[in-house]
A and B are shown apart, each in its own frame.
Chain A
């Protein structure tokens, strides 16, 4: 997440945030600052391992229900904060300083300091708005938004949940931890090299678009459709997610989005399989009408198993196929081929013991057609492949935990190994740098209050 802009724009973002906050404060509310306060539930009730963002089936249903479930003990004003401090060490020094004020290796950084409005107001309105300060970029800006209007009706003996989501990041509104916005690794090093190629739906539009999607959860099926558009550049600059030096990705027209998932909660186990996708025309030069076409079609599957409260297993996976038509980029010399494709596969398997101790293994693989002008590396391929290993400890997060539900923390050690990076295993950039040189040790402290 990058937050380019000027200080006065940070002020504007705060002003917008303040307006949203104020609108909630104007209710005769009992000030309770989190989803846990709202529901009276422990964090571990909704989050695998007692810490976000990996959701249990209860957490998924809470999200589908528009974040409105409550214990009814008064209206809450939900306010929360999050902090991520990390240390990153790469196998070999980076080719250049990763950010102003940081060295080529072994950096400590305040990666994120976020403030949230998160919760429900009555039975039909809920969501969250996140503003984040990045210590790496030394900037504050709007982060993820998911605001919902929702309702539940009983049809033929089944509850039907339906609603509308206003959000700014395709898949951020999704309840499954297999989609790009919420996949493992849930936190990674900002001050390390990462592969250049990814499908558009994997972060290419985050915070730079606004979308309205309608959804329904009927029986065991989640259906969603809607679209995204580019707001004005001045609004994005006011929210500190774009600047004249780093303009936002510009959609030429509305970008339709869809989601269909089958989700079966058997209580001890839960399964889901589904498809999601986006079709977008992106203007490489936001002042020219010529556009490149992207059609992303994703498939995902999830499995969770809770043999007892002590043990939790999960597997989350997704495959995204992206078809590209680079009319504008080829004309401008930014790509060699009009038609190309990109594939991405990710899978992560996790185990948590007593909701405190976790181990996760993630595999990622990106591959696609050759295009030297587009990728600019030695082979002209987008291929990157590797494994991420993580061990973490979540000391709090349960009903009887110290400081519950306010005190939440996760300490983690993560190691990412690359077998391929930006098109090759060895000398991928033509200067002798190997994929394994980007192997990264990342130690982090992630706190939420």
Chain B
């Protein structure tokens, strides 16, 4: 009986481990895809190096921080007064149509229509600190 319980526990652990590992791998894959998407779509105007300011603000540590919070960057009034905090959810919504979400901002990016690409971008942005 005890042996069976141990076997079940072991099986469950393996299954959980496999699922967990696959989730980690999946997130890793998504982050890698997101890095590609970032290079293609965002890197011209944004750096992921803290303190490196292009025509857009640096995105290192963007997940979790309030909008318009990089010191010294000339944000638009619309962004300053947006009251948004960049959670994964708000970032995903923003990337779908920045101007739709916050009218009057400076960013001219028209929006990423592919939800998978947006999610991948967010996964990548979680990794840049």
Give CA–CA (A159, B109) in the complex, Å. 12
Q: Can you give 28 A-B contacts (C-beta < 8 A)?
A: A39-B54, A39-B55, A40-B47, A40-B52, A40-B54, A40-B55, A42-B44, A44-B44, A45-B44, A45-B45, A58-B44, A69-B106, A70-B55, A70-B74, A71-B53, A71-B74, A72-B53, A72-B74, A73-B72, A154-B78, A154-B103, A154-B104, A157-B99, A158-B103, A265-B108, A267-B109, A267-B110, A309-B39
B41, CB-defined interface residue at 8 Å: yes
- List B contacts of A41 (CB < 8 A): 44-45, 54-55
A321, CB-defined interface residue at 8 Å: no
A308 engages B40 (CB within 8 Å):
yes
A288, CB-defined interface residue at 8 Å: no
Given A154-B103, A157-B99, A267-B109, the answer on whether A309 and B40 have CB atoms closer than 8 Å is yes
Determine chain A's interface SS by DSSP, over half rule: loop
Report B45-94 residues with CB < 8 Å from chain A CB. Answer: 45, 47, 52-55, 72-74, 78
Q: Which of A71, A154, A159, A309 contacts B55 (CB 8 A)?
A: A71
Interface size class of A (residues with CB under 8 A): 20 to 34
**Per-position 1/0 for B98-119, Cβ under 8 A of A:** 0110011010111010000000
**Per-position 1/0 for A143-178, Cβ under 8 A of B:** 000000000101001110000000000000000000
- List A contacts of B109 (CB < 8 A): 267
A267 engages B45 (CB within 8 Å):
no
B41 engages A40 (CB within 8 Å):
no
Using CB atoms, name the residue of chain A closest to B109. A267
Using CB atoms, name the residue of chain A closest to B100. A157
Determine chain B's interface SS by DSSP, over half rule: loop
A124, CB-defined interface residue at 8 Å: no
Give CA–CA (A399, B47) in the complex, Å. 10
- List A contacts of B52 (CB < 8 A): 40
Q: Distance in Å from the Cβ of B24 to the closest Cβ of chain A?
A: 27
Give CA–CA (A80, B80) in the complex, Å. 34
- List B contacts of A433 (CB < 8 A): none
**Per-position 1/0 for B23-47, Cβ under 8 A of A:** 0000000000000000111011101
Using CB atoms, name the residue of chain B closest to A71. B53
- List A contacts of B110 (CB < 8 A): 265-267
